[in-house]
Each structure stands twice: as structure tokens, then as C-alpha cells.
Amino acid sequence: MKLNKLFGIIGSVHVPSSLIAAQAGTDGGSPAEKRLEWLRSQLIGRDLQFDTCFGKRLLTYADHTASGRCLRYIEEYITQQVLPFYGNSHTSDSSCGEKTTRMVHEAREYIRRCVGACPEDALIFCGSGATAAIKRLQEVMGIAVPANLRSQVIENLREEERWVVFVGPFEHHSNLLSWRQSIAEVVEIGIDADGLVDMEALELQLASMKYSNRPKLGSFSACSNVTGIIADTRALSRLLHKYGAYACFDFATSGPYVEIDMRSREEEGYDAIFLSPHKFPGGPGSPGILVMHEALYKLRSFPPSTCGGGVVAYVNGFNAKDTVYYNDIEEREDAGTPPIIQEIRAALAFWVKETVGYEPIDLHETIYMKMAMERLLRNPCIQVLGNLKAKMLAILSFLVFFGDKPLMAGLWPKPLNDLFESRRRLQRPKTGVDKSRLRYYLTKEEFAFILDAIEFIDHHTRKKNHGADGMDSPKIVWNGKNLRFETEDKEAFLEYRLIYPDAAISSAAASADKGKCGLGADSQAGEKEDRRVQAVMDMLHTYVPRSKRGRGLASHLCVAAFAHAQRNSMLVIPTCSYISVILVAAGQQQ
């Protein structure tokens, strides 16, 4: 589909000239790369600096599995093209109401096309993510009940009336706990040798006489949000349909990156999908989305899951039995004022995904994941989780080991944040599993920076017990409350690596290891700058006498380094674990 048609669906929108040129290939570069460059340029917070106890850090966001980032272009479009004409979509009598109603309808239809929904499928916006979408499916199936009534309802159900729901081994809590709290019986399917859903075990359960006369449904994650392993949703659908079970899939994690084609009429199609558009680039603030085949809707003879304005054709004030609800599922399940701005935002987020294209997304993620594996797997102290030979998204979940035991949770995620401002996720707090999302529109510099940060923290957290050259280094304890390092070190040194943005990171690292700065400058001006930087480095290497500790000398040295780096657009990376307790924050004295 052409670019102007993609965006023209959502009202009268000005298509960026840079994107038109990229689509046509008239700007001298790869169309896919130009689209990615445009996407990077629209990220809100791309150049944000964050105050930490080690001074300012440039934000590097690596937690896209949890949430996407806002895009300037979408926010400007909503501000300029939607909000001035905003009105309630329950009326078309006014110009504002008519325009808003049309835009909401077009947004819904555009998303339907993006996910391959057929006329028998209903698209329902609900809540703020896939959690609400899963809960809404349970409500329209008639199996959601209040927690305080669950036991009583189950006791009064005949066995053949109670649904059986099969779930996989790597479900998000929303696709497990909510089913457990419904009146359905939940059957968990284990994992096979490849880290995927055990298809043989699933077939045994589906074929079991125990469930032969009961309604059945499978609800599986299309992708693990921990390891990134992608499930074979088509094979799961075929197997579920073979035994008369509905096939439902949670696309919250993989939705922003993979093509979704429901094809609900087919044997390998999906009967329902759950989406979290807030995880898409440009999607924060979007509602959850449930797309379901009409066969799953069990409230035809009953009121809708939520009653209110906008879902009724006629109301009798004296007799509730005379109330007439709309027959169309999408209308009767849209009570009250809909999330108008949020729905339009979701459609725009889908447009961004479609515009970038699936091939560039898959190509960049595959390359980044391969490079990350080649680098991290060489480190005997880092264990990347999951089956690394399986098809997977670029999600890195890993443990850092000291000896034969993983480092305790929380020992290094906070320092990684404050030293490098790398925003990732402590995935399993009790086990210390850390997770980073290598999104497809990362620059090469950002990608290398994230891996540098992981390896730096790995190296220096292990040095707390065994220093370099076989010598003991001081014990470092992270004090999150006071946002500083506490060390037993009696001699404070400060050491920094200053790197120009265009310098090769590998060259910088090699030269830094020799006690120099990797600057990549070979001209006379560059050599002069080398000497200036070396002077700053020499100052930072200066020993801080005990008599001057507590007077802010270390902080002043930090200020000098950061000021120099900012003037020259340089990257500042601490490279030493010998950090004085008097270093509270740049420019602040104890």
C-alpha cells in the first residue's frame, strides 16, 4: 500500500516530505534507512539528559518490551488536526461531532485492515493494554465473575458448562492470572526441548476424554516477553481447531514488530488476539485492543458486558425488559464516551509500523541480535536465557554470574541506570534476571553503548571481590536511598573515558585500556584537542588527599570533566570502580 494512502485514512494529514522522498527513493539513500532515520528524529526524549549521582547522563531507553516511546509527529498531528475539532462521537449533528465520529470510524477500520480482520470479527478498544483486552474477552464469553462469588458460581455449574482454557509456559501474568480468576478450568502446558510450547503435551490434553464434552479455548503468548522466543501460532491454531478449541493469542510483546494476519475463517487463523498499542513507537496513551470472531461472543441474549450510553436503541423508563440494545458487537460493547484520542493515537502507531515495513524491522533486529550474541556469549560470566537457536525477537534476558552463582537482584541494575542512563528492566527481582530490548531503530552507536554498559557493570561488580591483577579491590555497596556508592576504599581516584561521538567505540576502548583517550582525531587541531583532553584526564587521575575529602573536590573534578565533555559533544563513561563516598552529585558538596 502506498504511503499517502496509509496516512490518508486518518483524516487529512500532511505526509512528511522526507518520508515521501524516502518512499520514492529520490533522496539518494536506502528508502528503509531513510524511514528509520525519520523515525529516530521523531522520538521525544531522544536527547534528554538525566541527573544522576554521577552527573548528567544522556538517556538511552532499552525497555521497549514494557512501553514504546512517544513520537513528535503523532503528538503534533493530534494537537493540530484532532483536538481543535474534538467532539463526542455519539453524535453527528454538529460539525465537531461529525468529524470526530468519522475519524474514530476510520481509525478502527484502518487497524482492522492492519491485523487482517474479516467482517465476522469485532474490534473492541478496552482499558490501557492487553490485560484489559483479555478481561473483556472473558466478560463477553460469560466466564468473568467477581472474586467473592467465584467459588459459589463454580459449585453450581455442571461440568459440561465449564470452559477449559489451555495456556502456555511463558505467559504474561495477564494471560494466566485472569483466566485462573474466571470460572474456567486452566490447564498449563509445559515447555519442550526447544523452549516452545510442548505440542505433544497439548494434543494429549486436547484429546483427553476428561475434556471431550466441554467448551475449550487456548490462550497463548505469540512471543515470550522474557526471552523473545516466537511461538508457532499457526501450528497452535491448527492443533486447537482440530479438537474444536478456539485459538487466542497475546500479541502484546510481538505486536509492534511482526505482521499480524488473523484469517479467522481459516483452519490456521486466530479466533481472538490481544494487543497493547502503547508498546508501539508513538503508541503510549493508546487503549488495549481485542479483536475477536463473533462466535466467541456469548451475550447476544443478554445485556452487553458494560451498559451505558451509546449501546442502546431504545430504553423504557418503566420496564427494564423493554430495553433494546444494538445488535452489532462493536456498538454494544462501546458504552459511554469512547477513548477517542486514544483510538486515533493507536491507529497512527499502527501507521508508523506499516510505514517502516516488516522486512526492515526483521532485518535490523536479526543483525543486532546476532551481534549481541557473538559478543556476550564470549563472556563466561554472562548467561543469556532462552533457546538462542529458535526464532526470536531482539530481547536480551540475562544473568550475571560470580563463580557458580548469579549476582543478587538489584546489585547492578541501578548503577547501570545511573552510570549510563540505560533504561532497562529488572525482569525477575528475586532471581536477578535483567532484560534489555534491542529495538530495530537503534543507532549503531546506541547498540554498542548498551552492550558496553552491560559488560562494564559485569566487570566492575565482579571486581568488588577480586580486583584487577589479582589484588583485592574495595567492596562496593549500592545505597539506592542516598543515590551514591559506599566503598571501603581509603584512597579515592576518579577516572573517565572521553570519546567523540564519531569515534569508533572499539578504538576508544583499546586506547582507554592503555590509559589514553580514544578521540579518533589525526589533524593538528585534533592533536591539540588530544592534549587538552589529556590535561583534563590528568587532573581527574589526581589523588584526592584525605585532608581535602568532604570539601567537594571530587565533585569539582567531575564538573570539570562533564563541562569539557559537553562543550565538545563527547561521551563520558566512568571506567573505574574506585569511587569516593564524597561523590554525591556533580556540583554538590557534602
Please give the positions annotated as active site. 576
Cα pseudo-dihedral 446, 527, 537, 445, rounded to 10: 0
Contact 582, 549 (CB under 8 A): yes
- How many other C-beta atoms can be found within 10 angstroms of the C-beta atom of residue 368? 20
Exposed e or buried b per residue across 53-69, where buried means at least 16 C-beta atoms within 10 angstroms of its C-beta:
bbbbbeebbbbbbbebb
User: 3-class SS at 148?
Assistant: helix
* Alpha-carbon span 570 to 519, nearest angstrom: 9
Q: Specify the pairing of strand 288-293 against strand 121-126.
A: antiparallel
Got the DSSP string for 235-296?
HHHHHHHHTT-EEEEE-TTTTTTS-----TTSTTS-SEEEE-GGGSTT-TTPPEEEEEEGGG
Which residue is listed with cell 512471543? Answer: 223
Q: What is the largest CA-CA distance in the chain?
A: 91
Long-range CB contacts (< 8 A, 24+ apart) of 78-85?
A: 78/341, 78/344, 78/345, 78/348, 81/11, 81/12, 81/13, 82/11, 82/341, 82/344, 83/341
Q: How many whole angstroms separate alpha carbon 476 and alpha carbon 465? A: 9
Burial of 489 (0-12, 13-18, 19+ CB in 10 A): middle
Quickly list DSSP for 17-49: HHHHHHHHT-SSS-HHHHHHHHHHHTBTTTT-E
| Cα 201–Cα 205–Cα 206 angle in degrees, nearest 5 | 115
**CA-atom Rg of the chain in angstroms:** 28
Cell numbers describing residue 248:
487466542
Helix, coil or strand: residue 401? strand
**What are the CA-CA distances from residue 515 to residues 47, 217, 242, 367, 509 (Å)?**
29, 62, 66, 32, 10
Q: Which residues pair with 216 in a beta bridge?
A: 164
The Cα 117–Cα 220 span in angstroms is 19
Half-sphere exposure in the Cβ direction for 304 (13 Å, CA): 24
Q: Are 332 and 313 in contact (CB under 8 A)?
A: no
For residues 111 and 107, give the distance between their C-alpha atoms in angstroms, rounded to a whole number: 6
Nearest alpha-carbon partner for 49 in 418, 505, 416, 435: 418
In the block, residue with C-alpha cell 589479582: 470
